[in-house]
Amino acid sequence: MTLIADTEPTVFETVESEVRSYCRAWPTVFARATGSRLFDEHGRPFLDFFAGAGSLNYGHNNPALKRPLLDYLGSDGITHGLDMSTTAKRRFLETFRSAVLEPRGLPYKVMFPGPTGTNAVEAALKLARKVTGRKTVVSFTNAFHGMSLGSLALTGNAGKRAGAGVPLTHTTQMPFDHYLGGVTPDFLWFERLLEDSGSGLDHPAAVIVETVQGEGGVNVARAEWLRGLADLCRRRDMLLIVDDIQMGCGRTGDFFSFEEAGITPDIVTLSKSISGYGLPMSLCLFRDELDMWRPGEHNGTFRGNNPAFVTATAALETYWRDGTLRDRTLRRAATVEAALAELGTEAAPRGRGLVWGLEFEDGERAAAVCRRAFELGLLVETSGPRDEVVKLLPPLTVTDDELDEGLGILARAVRHTA
């Protein structure tokens, strides 16, 4: 008797759009998750070095965050509040001020622009243009800032830009750190365009930068390069925006990824792990003197996600009242770097904190490594302009044993595809 495999299409294939992507790389149906692991509907565990694309810095269903959330929902706390004042928002703002802003001497107002990272970027762009009265915003090669039109105009990836279907205007791209291989002094081209009235570059309102380009291939900007950029913005009367959506909330060690460079951006965007639990939430932070908004001038129906305020507050109270998580992340960075260096790939591993990239000669090899890792029980994704980089984003709460296990699986996947 011959058994015929069930080839009936799933509801995901018959109902969901072809735009879906992660489910193609990880062909299983996930059912539950805890800590650093997901489990599919058959109970098979997968170690998660993807962490919701950086939205789960504290792992899945972290008890320190889940208990306050359940208590809040159980007490009939406000769920949807737009920008109304609520007890949950008040506690978040008080905690964010005392645990994050005041210890760092950061002079920021807090804006809730909408639930996603691209909402925060769009708000930052709108505010920069409103404050300066100028239109042009400078971004960098291989940048990624979001999929709405304003954010997409700042993004370097040709495939993502092509999806816009309309011209992407009022932006100019400049070389990111190391883009020219170190043979050209930093900002030589940028500064020359600014000082030449014949360059065709309108005086920019702002410059937006990621300190580590995650989607762009885990490209790490040097601290001195970031300081040089901040100085250039100050001298040339341009606002500096740091997009910390994926690299903030401790991903590089410090709460903000720009702290290592000792700079204070004019505007900062946060999302992904700011809620701590994977709940949609984003912030746009800016200097007090830039707060020129009129009431309701920029808004969004879901900017008041109160359950996210609850888990965000719990995350700050649990992990950011001292330097324990920061120090642990930086120690584990050394472990990851050493393990990846032993793999002997074409390019040296690069990263900071607990975001690392392993570059291969092409996207096919990187994809093969990710496929084999999945077969062995590890979730990792590719990034870079040709998807040639395997990116590691384990939860910051990953245990030492889990970190070693994941790095061991990755090593097996690399060897298997050599």
Read off the pLDDT of residues 244-280 as tens digits, 9 standing for 90 and up.
Answer: 999 999 999 999 999 999 999 999 999 999 999 999 9
Residue 418 has pLDDT above 90, yes or no: no
Q: Percentage of the chain surpassing pLDDT 90?
A: 96
Distance CA 160, CA 371 (A): 23
323: tokens are: 């330097």
Cα distances (angstroms) measured from residue 139 to each of 136, 225, 271: 10, 15, 19
Sign of CA dihedral 103, 105, 109, 115: negative
Read off the pLDDT of residues 137-160 as tens digits, 9 standing for 90 and up.
Answer: 999 999 999 999 999 999 999 999
Q: Give the pLDDT band of residue 4 (cuts 50, 70, 90).
A: very low
Mean pLDDT over 370-391 rounds to: 97
Q: Give the pLDDT band of residue 1 (cuts 50, 70, 90).
A: very low
Residue among 209, 156, 164 nearest 385 (CA) = 156
Residue 165 has pLDDT above 80, yes or no: yes
Q: Give the pLDDT band of residue 61 (cuts 50, 70, 90).
A: very high
3 state SS of 58? coil
Q: Give the pLDDT band of residue 182 (cuts 50, 70, 90).
A: confident
Q: Give the pLDDT band of residue 7 (cuts 50, 70, 90).
A: confident
Mean pLDDT over 323-336 rounds to: 97
Distance CA 275, CA 315 (A): 8
Read off the pLDDT of residues 308-321 as tens digits, 9 standing for 90 and up.
Answer: 999 999 999 999 99
pLDDT value at residue 233: 98
Cα distances (angstroms) measured from residue 297 to each of 84, 111, 362: 15, 12, 46
Q: Beta 108-111 vs 37-40: how paired, if at all? A: unpaired
Q: Give the pLDDT band of residue 6 (cuts 50, 70, 90).
A: low
Cα distances (angstroms) measured from residue 228 to each of 106, 160, 269: 20, 29, 20
Task: Report phi then psi at 357, rounded to 5.
Answer: -125, 140
Helix ranges (DSSP H) in 281-391? 306-319, 324-341, 363-375
- Per-chain mean pLDDT for the chain: 96
Going across the sheet that includes 389-392, the strands are 350-352, 355-359, 389-392, 381-383
Mean pLDDT over 72-83 rounds to: 97
320: tokens are: 């950011």
Q: Percentage of the chain surpassing pLDDT 70?
A: 99
pLDDT value at residue 345: 83
Distance CA 358, CA 382 (A): 9
Write the single-letter amino acid at 237.
Answer: D
pTM of the shown model: 0.96
Write the single-letter amino acid at 316.
Answer: L
58: tokens are: 């504290």
Category of 65 on φ-ψ map: left (φ > 0), alpha (ψ -120 to 50) or beta: alpha
Read off the pLDDT of residues 13-55 as tens digits, 9 standing for 90 and up.
Answer: 999 999 999 999 999 999 999 999 999 999 999 999 999 999 9
Read off the pLDDT of residues 106-123 as tens digits, 9 standing for 90 and up.
Answer: 999 999 999 999 999 999
